[in-house]
Copies of this chain bind each other. A is one copy, B any other.
Amino acid sequence: MSVVVPGGPRRVPRATVGRLPVYLRALAALADQGVAVTSSRTLAAAAGVGSAQLRKDLSYLPAHGTPGVGYDVASLRQQLTGALGLTCQRRVVIVGVGHLGHALASYSGFAGTDFVVVGLVDADPRVVATTVAGLEVQPFERLAQVVKENGATIAVIATPQAVAQEVCDVVVAAGVTGVLNFAPRALRVPPAVDLRVVDLGSELQILAFHDRRRSDLSG
């Protein structure tokens, strides 16, 4: 049922997809300031990239600016919103309601207009049945049910690493198409499922790598 427009939408490179949310945010800020038209130079600066890269990225979308003038903020915003699939709300289940899961459930960037947290699941009996961010935490046994009943398409894994793969298998079997993993362990998912990883410990170690080159005297 896919519609192929002649000479139409090219495949959007992975690196470009990763920057679209940043552009969208910068556009929202400009719109809030009452800016109606902007240039690739201005928008790129706000997003922290080069103007050539911004124009290249936009060239993969049906978005178009006006040579000599720039881009209409409102319509470019709509284009990006559509490209990112934010026209309908995505439903998210968070598995693991420890400190991190708790924070994510309450995070405004997570529970905004584009995404809604529809389920919280934890294995700890002390956490189950408590209310977090307006939702009652469900036991692990109900995970598949929670995903299906609420039609969640995205699962956030914020559990200990030991159970992360098991959790992942359950949510994938239950039908989610995207997994965001915070557990410090490599997860296997079927090719059709999109997996993103946020590895907080690694981020610090990467910073330590660069720090090392300055402060360390040991060869």
Complex Cα gap A107–B198 (Å): 14
A210 at the binding interface (Cβ < 8 Å) = yes
Complex Cα gap A153–B209 (Å): 12
Complex Cα gap A102–B103 (Å): 8
Distance (Å) between the CB of A154 and the closest chain B CB?
5
> Which chain B positions have C-beta within 8 A of A200?
104, 107, 109-110, 198
Complex Cα gap A102–B82 (Å): 35
Distance (Å) between the CB of A151 and the closest chain B CB?
10
Q: Given contacts A84-B208, A203-B196, are A186 and B99 in contact (CB under 8 A)? A: no
Considering the complex, which residues of chain A in the window 104-145 have a beta carbon less than 8 Å from any beta carbon of chain B?
Answer: 104, 106-107, 109-110, 112, 114-115
A5 at the binding interface (Cβ < 8 Å) = yes
Question: Considering only CB atoms, which chain B residue lies closest to A213 in the complex?
Answer: B85
Q: Given contacts A85-B209, A99-B102, are A203 and B180 in contact (CB under 8 A)? A: yes
> Which chain B positions have C-beta within 8 A of A203?
180, 196, 198
Total chain A interface residues with beta-carbon distance under 8 A: 72
Closest 7 CB pairs of A and B: A85-B212, A48-B186, A109-B201, A178-B207, A21-B202, A99-B103, A103-B103
Binding site for B on A (CB under 8 A): 1, 3, 5, 12, 17-18, 20-22, 24-26, 46-48, 82-88, 90, 92, 98-100, 102-104, 106-107, 109-110, 112, 114-115, 153-154, 177-180, 184-188, 194, 196, 198-219
Distance (Å) between the CB of A85 and the closest chain B CB?
3
Complex Cα gap A176–B185 (Å): 29
- Pairs across A and B, CB under 8 Å, 24 listed: A20-B206, A21-B199, A21-B202, A22-B186, A25-B185, A46-B186, A48-B188, A83-B209, A84-B208, A85-B209, A87-B216, A88-B216, A90-B208, A99-B106, A104-B200, A109-B200, A115-B204, A154-B207, A154-B208, A177-B214, A180-B207, A194-B211, A196-B206, A196-B207
Distance (Å) between the CB of A143 and the closest chain B CB?
18
> Which chain B positions have C-beta within 8 A of A20?
205-206, 209
